Amino acid sequence: MNLTLYVWRQKGPDEPGRLEQYEAKDISPEMSFLEMLDVVNEDLIKGGKEPIAFDHDCREGICGMCSQVINGIPHGPQEKTTVCQLHMRHFKEGDILYIEPWRARAFPVIKDLIVDRSALERIIRSGGYISVHTGGVPDANAILIPKADAETAMDASECIGCGACIAACPNGSAMLFTAAKVAHLAMLPQGRVEAAQRVCVMTEAMLKEGFGNCGNHYECQAACPKGIKVQFIAKLNREFMKAQTKDTGRRLVSEPFSG
């Protein structure tokens, strides 16, 4: 099949960008979306032009590297599917596709379709962990965890950190991303100990990075390739309230998280 692409081209963070038109020719339905772009890029290179820069690595939907907005939808039209797992059989002859990078204040464009997602790193760094050293821990079966809790923790922990939730949110909020980590750790007995500090410092870090607030649009859930549910945002809010009502709650916010 043949398609027309309008792709966001931008040389660097401070350069102006614009959509440029390309033809994708002889695309087979078995190709993945990125393989289609590979074909376009090979043509561009042969024609002496600069290929389109885009992030990708595993091409299996797990590393969270790929990040493109296709016709206004992060990761494209296929539900619960990263762009690297999206296949061309979901498109048809003559389709016109607009391909853009993640758009959010906290994600500056580096080049073409590649954005800087280091803000997410800093959220995790603020407290998205259990403060355990290597060694000296109890036997893995010493603390039992109800199956349902372990499963819920896993549901949250499946987040691949791609940032589609933020790109989809009208407010550019990182609530789902942050909530998934807060909920994952709060569901487990090992993570409960620091749950109050964690939710406070992570929320604070999120706001500092310039992410917007949650307005209950649920666009994040719709865009999430892993199907992470907004119920985790409710969990974050509950954890936050609980932390505030603890008399030590406020103090913990400004205290550095144990290193």
Partner 1 sequence: MLDGKCPSGPLAEKWDKRCREMKLVNPANKRKYTIIVVGTGLAGASTAATLGELGYNVEAFCYQDSPRRGHSIAAQGGINAAKNYPGDGDSISRLFYDTIKGGDFRAREANVYRLAMVSNTIIDQCVAQGVPFARDYAGYLENRSFGGAQVSRTFYARGQTGQQLLLGAYAALSRQVKAGTVRLHPRTEMLDLVVVDGEAKGITVRDLVTGAMSSYAGDAVCLCTGGYANVFYLSTNAMGSNVTATYRAYKKGAFFANPCYTQIHPTCIPVSGDHQSKLTLMSESLRNDGRVWVPKEKGNRRAPHEIPESERDYFLERKYPSYGNLAPRDIASRAAKEVCDEGRGVGPGGRGVYLDFAEAIGRLGEEKIRERYGNLFDMYEKITAENAYKEPMRIYPAPHYTMGGLWVDYDLQSTIPGLFVLGEANFSDHGANRLGASALMQGLADGYFIIPYTIANYLARTQPGKVSRDHAEFRKSREEVDALTKKLLSLKGNRTVNEFHRELGKIMWEYVGMARSEEGLKEALKLIPELRAEFWENVKVPGNGAELNQQLEKACRVADFLEFGELMARDALHRNESCGGHFRVEYQMPDGEARRDDENFCYVAAWEFRGVDKEPELHKEPLVFENVPLAVRSYK
Q: Which residues bind ligand FES (CB under 6 A)?
A: 56-59, 61-66, 82, 84
Helices (H), the chain: 33-46, 118-127, 147-157, 164-168, 175-186, 189-192, 195-208, 219-223, 231-245, 249-254
Nearer to partner 1, 119 or 233 (CB): 119
Q: Which does 169 bind (CB under 5 to 8 A by kind): ligand FES, partner 1, none?
A: none
Cβ 234 to partner 1 shortest distance, Å: 20
Using the minimum distance from each CB to ligand FES, give the nearer residue, 55 or 239.
55
Would you say the C-alpha torsion 187, 178, 233, 219 has a positive or negative sign?
Answer: negative
- Point out which residues pair with 69 in neighbouring strands: 74, 100
CB of 39 to ligand FES, least distance (A): 17
Nearer to partner 1, 124 or 207 (CB): 124
> For strand 96-100 and strand 3-10, is the pairing parallel, antiparallel, or unpaired?
parallel
Q: Are 154 and 196 contacting, i.e. CB atoms less than 8 angstroms apart?
A: no
Residue 124: which of partner 1, ligand FES, none does it interact with, CB under 5 to 8 A by kind?
A: partner 1
Smallest distance from ligand FES to CB 118, Å: 18
Could you give the dihedral angle defined by the CA atoms of residues 243, 180, 104 and 115, in that order, rounded to the nearest 10 degrees? 130
Q: What does each C-alpha distance from 21 to 4, 14, 56, 76 come to in angstroms?
A: 7, 22, 22, 18
Q: Tokens for 156, please give them.
A: 């949250």
Residue 71 beta carbon to ligand FES: minimum distance, rounded to whole angstroms: 18
Which of ligand FES, partner 1, none does residue 129 bind to, with CB < 5 to 8 Å depending on kind? partner 1
Residue 118 partner contact from partner 1, ligand FES, none using kind-dependent CB cut-offs of 5 to 8 Å = partner 1
Nearest to 81 by CA among 153, 118, 32: 32
Please identify, using beta-carbon distances, which residue of 94 and 135 lies nearer to partner 1: 135
Smaller CB distance to ligand FES: residue 87 or 242? 87
CB of 215 to ligand FES, least distance (A): 27
Q: What are phi and psi of 7, to 5 degrees?
A: -115, 140
66 binds, among ligand FES, partner 1, none (CB under 5 to 8 A by kind): ligand FES
Distance of CA 68 to the CA centre of its chain: 11
Q: Is 24:7 a contact under the CB 8 Å cutoff?
A: no
CB of 134: closest distance to partner 1 in angstroms?
4
Q: Which does 131 bind (CB under 5 to 8 A by kind): partner 1, ligand FES, none?
A: partner 1
Which partner from the list ligand FES, partner 1, none does 227 bind, CB cut-off 5 to 8 Å by kind? none
Nearer to partner 1, 137 or 234 (CB): 137
Beta bridge partners of 7: 20, 99
